[in-house]
Structure 1
Amino acid sequence: MLQQYEKYRGIHPGIVLGRELKKRSIKQRPFALSLAEHPQTFNAITKGKRGISTALALKIERKLGLEEGTLVILQAYYDIQKIKEKEIKSTPDLHILSKALFWDTDIKYIDWERQYRAVIQRVFERGNENDKNEIIRFYGTEKVNQALQESNIRNPYTIYRFNKTTG
């Protein structure tokens, strides 16, 4: 991939393509039609709402004289970035949670969504304020409150304190 496109890693390739067309003063609609592509589809790509297929990427690269594979590689980097963002959102910040909370479990294998009741229960029984705040941030006040009320924690002080600090 060309060095000039290295800075676009993680950005949707359609956005980069739109900038390139603008820089070259090429109108999207005529360009899309010259590729035998629907202008609406092409517009969705340049707005970052739709991915670029390998076949279309090759057509665009040939037409614009770009290095072969540039847009495909940008699409791959974008897809990787999206997966990483999703993974980050799918777990609480493990640097904040006390390691002692999950001493008996490999934390990498916790299904944070399926096992949320057990996680919340454990953190509110054994965790410190930072642990609790991170779990509240991750799951949200409503879900934590619901899980605490449904759980075997019948310590009214914990639930009362939680309700006082969040609501």
Structure 2
Amino acid sequence: MTLVLPGAWAQNASIELTELKAVRDNGSLMLNAQLALELGPALEDALVKGVALHFLAEAEVLRDRWYWTDAKLGSVTRYYRLAFQPLTRRWRLNVSNEPISSAGLAGSISQSFETLGEALGVIRRQSSWKLLDLQTLSPDARQRVRYNFKLDVSQLPRPFQIAAGGQSDWNLQVSKTLRLSPELVR
């Protein structure tokens, strides 16, 4: 007879892009993304033990060219740093447009949360993210948005970078390309 405890069926880390949508707003092309992001036990354990996790969201707007590589019209990047504060028992999330180092958090927006789920909710919903001005787009050309979201393992302490190499919990990444419709560009 096997005894199974409730926590024994812990789910592995997973990520899925459930929505990716480009919209017009006040002369700008905006991006909305919705992620189904779940941290596995290895990532949650690292957070509780004081290791901050860094996530990276990137979006590029590209124009197709038949004679050369596609033209990059614009790109934006958003950096997330998630950490657990053991003294206050709260979760801290920093969001920035520039890389976040543990020494310099000055250029980031910081928020504290009671639970890990609340902090992950902010990362999961990326809304009204300005990609570029609509004047940059050509109504006659084929254009697309390439979106990428990942756990940035290069920001982890060196021992974790080495250990994370072969473990699927540490390999969180999702990418998708969205073709811009002519109606959206005009």
Work out whether the TM-score is over 0.5.
no
More helix by share: 1
Higher strand share: 2
**TM-score between both structures, scaled by the size of structure 1:** 0.21
Bigger CA radius of gyration: 1
Q: Return the TM-score normalized by structure 2.
A: 0.20
